[in-house]
Structure 1
Amino acid sequence: MKLSRRQVLHGAAAAPLAAALPRFAVAELALGGATLRTVSDGHLTLPAEFIFGPMPQDALAPLRAEFGLTGPQLTPECNLALFEDGETRVLFDVGSGPDFMPSAGTITDSLAALGLSPEDITHVAFTHAHPDHIWGLLDDFGDPLFTQAQYFMGRREWDYWWNPETVTTIGEARAAFAVGARRRMEVIENSVTLFDDGAEILPGIAAMASFGHTPGHMSFEVRQGSDAALVIGDAIGNHHVAFRQPDWESGSDQDGATAAATRTALLDRLATEQMPFVGFHLPNGGIGRAARDGAGYRFIPGG
């Protein structure tokens, strides 16, 4: 099922603003002497078919019932990972900003609850350039928000959104995504460092390709001594079908087949190594672990 941007945003506008998530840090994980926590950027409100449309509906129905997802909308959390080691403050993605959905874009309030401002962020590393991950780069007036930060984005992701042909090939429902990404990338063009799979972008932070959700989607392994965690962005986009049936293609992924293969391999690694991870749209603040559950997996909140 193809959904237009108007349909997506109409669903968002219909959601009561009172349902917005609390604007503060919502989960935390110690990594050696450093801290990896999540800060809320609110939540999205999406038509359920945006994710469920391509899936086998008969097999999907009992899963939707089990997780209480029988309604027409989904309201996934938006959890930005924030790494602090006493010298650097690395924010992974920047949220939606003021121009995407009224239920999202709360990152400045969440930072303020920690006694921080956008100017305190030393580095920003992007998993990908969808609106809820990069539109928060600009404030209400269209000016850069994270004025003291150095920026990092995967070369493949940058090239995809920078390409002027993307807006005409991405499809009508996502054309505005391409325009919005390019506008924000132009602001940081002279201050961004591009990297490839496996690069150590900062001491203890290594990039790991997790393509499919977008053509150049990146995850990041954050390691301090013997402690490590993965920041996975939208490589695993929810706590229900993505875990139970990782091989099912999701309508939220730009390349469904590649994303499913990435998700399956990633869950196998996470469950085998019992490595904690941060998922942008996972519940309870997004930090958790994966456990095998029959032929699939389940999400266990907490570090």
Structure 2
Amino acid sequence: MTLTKRAFLATSAAAAASLTLPRRGWTQTTATIGGMEVTTLSDGNLMLPAEFIFGPMPQDDLAGVLAPFDIAPDQPLTPPCNVTLLRHGDNIVLFDCGAGFAFQDSAGQLGDALAAAGIDPLDVTHVVVTHGHPDHIWGMLDDFDEPLFYNAEHMMGEVEHAYWMDDATVNSIGEERASFAVGAKRRLEMMAGNMTLFSDGAEVLPGVSAQMTPGHTPGHMSFVMADGNDALMVVGDAIGNPHVAFARPSWHSGSDQDLAMGAATRTALLDQIATDAMTMIGFHLPNGGIGRAERDGDGYRFVPSA
């Protein structure tokens, strides 16, 4: 079995919460969507300065919004990273593949999570990408700079792929994100022979359709899994935290590359999820990331599955 060189850190795995039966360990949360089994696995967490998200927000109002979450506006943030695993028929599918070993020491734990779940990276059949940021695709390569999911078909939205492959992106993305562009292009170039591109609305796999949710990045994709009357949406970073993103979705977030578009997408997406009473998975949401968006006054609140 292929493993990363990082030690297994049991303390980083949250307690399980399931829509069906409880599970423990690295498997944080499991939902059953018809004949699909959907599980989140921990890739660890990020370490972010508060201004990375809160910088553009109305500072006079921010403290009041954050107070129920025991977060101060200048407090460093440690958002979890939830990689979604889908088992459906003969397919073993990852939605994003984590940060790998080269981004932040607190992240890059997916290899250990897969091992604890009894899955060899060579058994993964598909890697479906929401967007090209480091915590979502740098895990494509292992410690030896080789493809980790060697047998998997890698799949990415054509708009997002074109953005990161464009030589101009490194100069237009901003100095603080220039390394994102360099890292993404290198990885996508290495996967060029095993990369399938798709457009908005495409059925990328049986029962899995793509929905363009831009703003966080130009071609960010979310994915709806549906079987019968059951549906679940993997939202990636289109809804990037459990506090301000829900309570004030129209506020600009510093984590989005296009602030206005990110806010518009987030507002529309939360309305869709709440109206349809759809289960959702957020890459940086707590308790394994699976839950629902419920209306709360002028905003929403995230309700984890329990």
Shorter chain as denominator, the TM-score bin is over 0.9
- What SS is found at the alignment partner of 1:45? coil
- What SS is found at the alignment partner of 1:185? helix
Correspondence 1:81 to 2:84? yes
| Amino acid aligned to 2:60 | D
Note the 1:115-264 alignment, pairs <5 A.
115-264=118-267
Kindly indicate whether the alpha-carbon contact (under 8 Å) linking 2:13 and 2:28 is maintained by their aligned counterparts in 1: no
Residue matched to 2:62 = 60
| Amino acid aligned to 1:29 | A
| Amino acid aligned to 1:251 | G
RMSD of aligned residue pairs (Cα, Å):
1.3
Greater shift in the superposed pair: 162-171 or 70-79:
70-79
- What SS is found at the alignment partner of 1:47? coil
Residue matched to 1:292 = 295
Residue matched to 2:100 = 97
Correspondence 1:113 to 2:116? yes
TM-score, normalised with respect to structure 2: 0.91
Residue matched to 1:9 = none
Q: CA deviation at 1:86?
A: 3.0
* 1:238-261 CA-partner distances (Å, limit 9, x unpaired): 000000000000000000100100
Q: CA deviation at 1:197?
A: 0.4
Q: CA deviation at 1:96?
A: 0.2
Kindly indicate whether the alpha-carbon contact (under 8 Å) linking 1:207 and 1:220 is maintained by their aligned counterparts in 2: yes
Identity of aligned residues (%): 57
| Amino acid aligned to 1:99 | A
TM-score, normalised with respect to structure 1: 0.92
Cα distance in structure 2, aligned partners of 1:19 and 1:250: 30
- What SS is found at the alignment partner of 2:176? helix
* 1:139-159 CA-partner distances (Å, limit 9, x unpaired): 111111000100110000000
- What SS is found at the alignment partner of 1:230? strand
Residue matched to 2:17 = none
Cα distance in structure 2, aligned partners of 1:261 and 1:147: 37
Kindly indicate whether the alpha-carbon contact (under 8 Å) linking 2:98 and 2:110 is maintained by their aligned counterparts in 1: yes
Residue matched to 1:47 = 49
- What SS is found at the alignment partner of 1:74? coil
Greater shift in the superposed pair: 26-35 or 233-242:
26-35
- What SS is found at the alignment partner of 2:214? coil
| Amino acid aligned to 1:209 | M
Q: CA deviation at 1:33?
A: 1.9
Cα distance in structure 1, aligned partners of 2:227 and 2:149: 25
Match of 2:28 among 26, 29, 48: 26
* 1:153-186 CA-partner distances (Å, limit 9, x unpaired): 0000000000001001100000000000001001
Kindly indicate whether the alpha-carbon contact (under 8 Å) linking 1:55 and 1:249 is maintained by their aligned counterparts in 2: yes
Cα distance in structure 2, aligned partners of 1:21 and 1:165: 39
Q: CA deviation at 1:80?
A: 0.5
| Amino acid aligned to 2:83 | L
Q: CA deviation at 1:226?
A: 1.8
Kindly indicate whether the alpha-carbon contact (under 8 Å) linking 1:21 and 1:77 is maintained by their aligned counterparts in 2: no
| Amino acid aligned to 2:144 | F
- What SS is found at the alignment partner of 1:190? helix
Greater shift in the superposed pair: 230-239 or 69-78:
69-78
| Amino acid aligned to 1:97 | G
Gaps of 5+ in 2: 1-8, 15-24
Residues 177 and 19 (structure 1), Cα distance of their counterparts in 2 relative to 1, 3 Å cut: farther
